Chain A
Amino acid sequence: MDWGVTDLTCRRGARDVLTGVTFRVGAGRAVRLTGPNGSGKTTLLRTLAGLAPPPRGTVDAPPDAFAFAGHADGLKGQLTVGENLRFWAGVFGADPGTVEEALDAFALRPLAGRRAADLSAGQTRRAGLARLLVTGRPVWLLDEPTVSLDAASVEAFGTRVARHLAGGGSALIATHVALGLPGTQALDVAAFAQAVGASVADAAFADAIE
């Protein structure tokens, strides 16, 4: 799927963090977001996911195109891995077969009956990423997906993303680790960074001189 954004402003709290964000992502392509900590990578991903409405700009994609995976995995500790995935499959209206596929893709089959609270950090992360598959959505928005994954899991994850791309999907990935994906472009978020404190709301107050 081919999609893009034009002149997008991303807001966090009362501050405009990024302005004039413009890029396009072709079908089967991945874009890697780079930039120092706090430059607005997460804010951009959350804006695209629909969690933070953008004050300006357009997103040229249907709103149900995006699947978001943030720092938190959205797993319930008291439920098993399988139950967690089946719940998300139900919420996203996917058929139960995709759960089996997701379990296999992230080598979670042996852990399917285990409570999510008993998983290690890396295993939890894998279960959280497996959720992307059951959403059935074409564009993956990934925020530091490889945190707490070991080298083998990172490689397996890279392979899985590559397969998603080969199937016509696309991905926007904020990461410091090379995933070895072919044809990946880099997008430096710092280029769109807005000067600190120049938010729309506060600017109106700053010159409210009596």
Chain B
Amino acid sequence: MIGLVRRDLTLALRAGGGAGLALVFFLTFVTLTALGVGPRADVLAPVAPGILWLGAVLACLLSLDRLFALDAEDGTLDLLLTAPLPAEGTAAAKAAAHWLTTGAPLTVAAPVLAPLLFLPGPAVPWLVASLALGTPALSMIGTFGAALTVGLKRGSLLLSLLVLPLCIPTLVFGADVVRRAAAGLDPSTPLALLGAVTLAALAGLPFAAAAALRINLR
């Protein structure tokens, strides 16, 4: 399983893997939002928590359609399912690799981008905490969606349609953590709920994703 994570990371880092793309997308998204909304701090600051979290959700969505599709095309997925590693492990490893190439860099980069949207300073640590706690759920949900649509020829649009509604609780709680922190309120309640959603997703969704993989490769 660790071997699979390491291989996916190597693939992402080699040419054509596109590890930094999610980060570049995040930066572009934030920039375009500021350009679209206007440069004034009193307009940008209230929406900054939502924009930053929305950017994270969309950036996580970017590479999902290739998560299993490439492995399905070259036969790797067939071979992985006949390997001693259970399909649940394959799904969890894929989600972990996805998080390490999208969620983790976003979490690290977020404090740099937050001032661009005039997010108040005290809220920045909470932004990092909420992203660190919430983005694993996004990767796991995305892996489930990718497993559902792996057999489809034009699955990427459907994938977004399936994955985005499932991201609602994470988005709501994650953005609320930052919003409360920015308003000087105690953000620990939404942070705990965010963690609960992530833990539940990590506990349950590998099984659902594995079932979907087995059905799709039948």
List A residues at the B interface (Cβ < 8 Å). 11, 13, 46, 49-53, 64, 66-68, 70-79, 83, 87-88, 90-93, 131, 135
Residues A87 and B7 in contact, CB atoms below 8 Å apart? yes
Smallest Cβ distance from B96 to chain A, in angstroms? 15
Looking across the interface, which residue of chain B has its beta carbon closest to that of A48?
A: B82
Residues A64 and B78 in contact, CB atoms below 8 Å apart? no
Chain A residues lying within 8 Å of B10, measured Cβ to Cβ, are: 78-79, 83
Q: B84 contacts which of A13, A53, A64, A72 (Cβ < 8 Å)?
A: A64
Q: A70 contacts which of B16, B78, B83 (Cβ < 8 Å)?
A: B78
Inter-chain CA distance A207–B73, complex, in Å, is 38
Residue pairs across A and B with CB atoms within 8 Å: the count is 70
Smallest Cβ distance from A64 to chain B, in angstroms? 6
Q: Provided the pairs A74-B78, A76-B76, A79-B11 are in contact, do residues A92 and B83 lie with their beta carbons within 8 angstroms? A: yes
Smallest Cβ distance from A200 to chain B, in angstroms? 15
Residues A49 and B76 in contact, CB atoms below 8 Å apart? no
Residues A72 and B75 in contact, CB atoms below 8 Å apart? yes
Smallest Cβ distance from A142 to chain B, in angstroms? 13
Q: A78 contacts which of B11, B79, B81 (Cβ < 8 Å)?
A: B11
Chain B residues lying within 8 Å of A79, measured Cβ to Cβ, are: 7, 10-11, 14
Looking across the interface, which residue of chain A has its beta carbon closest to that of B77?
A: A74
CB-CB contacts below 8 Å: B1-56 with A: 3-4, 7, 10-11, 14-17
Smallest Cβ distance from B191 to chain A, in angstroms? 37
Looking across the interface, which residue of chain B has its beta carbon closest to that of A135?
A: B83
Any A CB within 8 A of the CB of B217: yes
Smallest Cβ distance from B160 to chain A, in angstroms? 26
Residues B3 and A91 in contact, CB atoms below 8 Å apart? yes
Residues A51 and B82 in contact, CB atoms below 8 Å apart? yes
Inter-chain CA distance A48–B75, complex, in Å, is 16
Residues A74 and B79 in contact, CB atoms below 8 Å apart? yes
Looking across the interface, which residue of chain A has its beta carbon closest to that of B93?
A: A91
Inter-chain CA distance A51–B218, complex, in Å, is 6
Smallest Cβ distance from B211 to chain A, in angstroms? 12
Any A CB within 8 A of the CB of B109: no
Residues B78 and A68 in contact, CB atoms below 8 Å apart? yes
Residues B85 and A91 in contact, CB atoms below 8 Å apart? yes
Q: B80 contacts which of A13, A46, A91, A93 (Cβ < 8 Å)?
A: A91
Looking at B74, B79, B80, which has the most chain A CB atoms within 10 Å of its CB? B79
Inter-chain CA distance A66–B17, complex, in Å, is 32
Inter-chain CA distance A71–B82, complex, in Å, is 15
Residues A76 and B11 in contact, CB atoms below 8 Å apart? yes
Q: What are 25 A-B interface contacts by the 8 Å CB criterion?
A: A50-B82, A51-B78, A51-B81, A51-B82, A51-B218, A66-B82, A67-B82, A70-B75, A71-B75, A72-B76, A73-B75, A74-B74, A74-B79, A76-B11, A76-B76, A78-B10, A78-B15, A79-B10, A79-B11, A79-B14, A83-B7, A88-B79, A91-B80, A91-B83, A92-B83
Chain B residues lying within 8 Å of A52, measured Cβ to Cβ, are: 218
Inter-chain CA distance A76–B84, complex, in Å, is 20
Chain B residues lying within 8 Å of A87, measured Cβ to Cβ, are: 3-4, 7
Inter-chain CA distance A71–B74, complex, in Å, is 9
Residues A93 and B7 in contact, CB atoms below 8 Å apart? no
Residues B3 and A90 in contact, CB atoms below 8 Å apart? yes
Inter-chain CA distance A83–B84, complex, in Å, is 19
Looking across the interface, which residue of chain B has its beta carbon closest to that of A12?
A: B218
Residues A73 and B74 in contact, CB atoms below 8 Å apart? yes
